[in-house]
Amino acid sequence: MDFLRTSLLDLVTLVRSGQTSPSDIFDAYRARIERYNPELRAYTTLRDKPETFAGADTPFAGVPYAVKDLYLEKGIRTTASSRMLEHFIAPYESTVTTRIMAAGASNLGKVTLDEFAMGGSGEKSALDIAKNPWDTERIAGGSSSGSAVAVAAGLAPFALGTDTGGSLRQPGSMCGVVGFKPTYGRNSRSGIIAMASSLDTPGTITRTVRDAAYIYGITAGHDPMDSTSRTESTAINATIWDRDRLDGMRVGIPKEYFIDGMDAGVRREIDAAIAKLADLGAEIVPVSLPNTEYCLAVYYIVMAAEVSTNLARYDGIRYGHAADTGMDIALNRSGGFGAEPKRRIMMGSFVLSAGFYDAYYRKASLIRELVRNDFRQAFEQVDVIATPVAPTVAWRFGATGDDPVKMYLEDVFTVPASLAGLPALSLPVGYALPTDGGTVEMPVGLQIIGPQLGEEKVFSVAHVLEMATIGKRRVPIDFEE
């Protein structure tokens, strides 16, 4: 069976029709993991094969999946790809994984990420650094690097991840798979190691838009264990899957997202995707999001402030990395955290400190509300907004050097939707040669952003475009059976 091209829903159908079994599917993926993971480094911890699999009548019918190593799974090592938690065994289960397992999925294992989800390349992991299956000399994107690699290389049919400032959409784009984040609060954060609490959003990496919607229908919903959990209905109208046209849909194109510095190949593929939306009947509407220019600065202030607060709990005394004496908090934290968490802790502590709070954090919070208002006004004119996911394709390892700002700039198109808490999806739409002399065409993704609670609109537009362009979809040739 060609697991590089088989969707989650196709696997469920095969199990229910008796053409295969959950055990056979699990074994096939484990065989691919054993063959390719030593090179790709997506998985950090493998789970044992279940003694029994869920029945075919369950939503997932026993089909396996991978979990970003940020989700707590009771009794399983959960590291956040950090030395601080390298040997931590989770004492309880996250809400999302509880719902996934209750729906009949089986667990292949944990996949790597940037340390504590802090990074846009996967290079910031203190443990395993995942490689892009399209070109293993290049980054996979981050922070959900292992999740994207696992799905793109056929090492899992779908994977859980999180998105704080683009951590599902950007690796989805760079690995040629679908990265989806719902509205903030739709999926519970309970049992997921926190990075920035007002931004962290659990979501998925899948092969198809419909797979993403299917999983969303199972994971989303109110959770009393998460104070930010939404209570509104998460139902998606099934008729959207019958659409093959976008007549009556208005797609906004924000001028602020088409900037100097974008790779010419990325611009070409994004322009072609927007033209295809028009061919499919959508009305293309220019819109403006005037506060976009401030979004990176606002994001890196708000996020860093919340990081400094959330990571204060890791002292090496109650749990986590401990130096030789075990009682020196400064040594414990210095040895447990890598360079990127330390950088963000210091930034966050600074912007929250006396004398600087009003100048930085308070001002950033006020501008964040202006960003939300920009989107509210735009969505009075359009149903969804379409933008690039990133200004470049995946770059070579080490290309950003010791300059973190170079990597932060790659978030320029994804952080605005995060600041506004909006649903957004990255859809593979084409391929482009890197501008650094690379000879392998790398994936390019189109971002589709919806209004608050507008997941159905995002899925609808993305699915129609996906079905119209599916013939262009490729797989990484070095990992094709």
Q: Considering the domain boundaries, does residue 88 fall inside one?
A: yes
Contacts of 422 (CB under 8 A, 6+ apart): 183, 184, 375, 449, 450, 451, 452, 454
Phi/psi for 478 (5° steps) reads: -70, -15
| Cα distance between residue 305 and residue 312, in whole Å | 11
d(CA 15, CA 35): 24
Is 327 part of a structural domain of the chain?
Answer: no
- Assigned domain for 348 exists: no
pLDDT in tens, 447-462: 999 999 999 999 999 9
477 confidence band (pLDDT: 50, 70, 90): confident
For residue 302, pLDDT over 90 is answered with: yes
Rounded Cα–Cα distance for residues 143 and 40 (Å): 16
Q: Where are the beta strands (DSSP E) in 64-125?
A: 64-68, 106-111
One-letter identity of residue 177: V
Q: Say if residues 173 and 389 touch (Cβ distance below 8 Å).
A: yes
Q: Residue 137 CB: number of other CB atoms within 10 A?
A: 13
Question: Which residues are part of the catalytic machinery?
Answer: 68, 143, 167
Can you list the alpha helix ranges (DSSP code H) found in 59-203?
A: 95-102, 145-152, 169-175
Can you spell out the DSSP letters for 362-382? IHHHHHHHHHHHHHHHHTTT-
Looking at the domain assignment, is residue 270 inside a domain? yes
In Å, how far from its chain's centre is CA 50? Answer: 27
Residue 400 has a pLDDT of: 86
The percentage of the chain sitting over the pLDDT mark of 90, rounded to a whole number, equals 92
* Residue 285 pLDDT > 70: yes
Mean pLDDT of 65-82: 98
Whether 137 maps to a domain, the answer reads: yes
Specify the pTM: 0.97
Q: What is the pLDDT of residues 139-194, one digit of tens each?
A: 999 999 999 999 999 999 999 999 999 999 999 999 999 999 999 999 999 999 99
The two tokens of residue 33 are 């993991």
Instruction: Please give the residue range of the domain that contains residue 409.
Output: 8-294+361-479
CA dist 190 and 72 (Å) reads 9
3-state SS class at 196: coil
Each residue's pLDDT tens digit, 387-397? 999 999 999 99
CB 111 within 8 A of CB 42: yes
Cα 57 to Cα 55: distance, rounded to the nearest angstrom: 5
Give the tokens for residue 52. 């029994």
Model confidence over 211-232: pLDDT tens digits?
999 999 999 999 999 999 999 9
CA-closest candidate to residue 115, choices 155, 145, 150, 75: 145
Instruction: List the structure tokens of 197.
Output: 């609490």
Helix locations, 311-454, DSSP H: 329-336, 339-352, 363-378, 404-408, 415-420
In a domain, 353, yes or no: no
d(CA 302, CA 122): 22
Q: What residues form DSSP beta bridges with 106?
A: 64
pLDDT given at position 407: 84
**pLDDT attached to residue 403:** 80
Count of beta carbons in the 10 Å neighbourhood of residue 211: 24
Helix axes 22-40, 8-16, angle to 10 degrees: 150
Q: Number of folded domains in the chain? A: 1
Q: In this structure, what CATH number is given to the domain that contains residue 209?
A: 3.90.1300.10
**What is d(CA 109, CA 76) in angstroms, rounded to the nearest whole number?**
9
Determine the number of helices (DSSP H) and then strands (DSSP E) in the chain.
Answer: 14, 11
Q: Which residues pair with 111 in a beta bridge?
A: 43, 68
Residue 264 has pLDDT above 80, yes or no: yes
Residue 145 domain-assigned (yes or no)? yes
Cβ atoms < 10 Å from Cβ of 341: 27
Q: Which two tokens stand for residue 151?
A: 């799905």
Residues forming a β-bridge with 163: 201
Closest-CA residue to 422 (of 229, 106, 78, 185): 185
Q: Is the separation of the CB atoms in 225 and 188 below 8 Å?
A: yes
pLDDT of residue 326: 66
In a domain, 354, yes or no: no
Q: Which two tokens stand for residue 345?
A: 């802790």
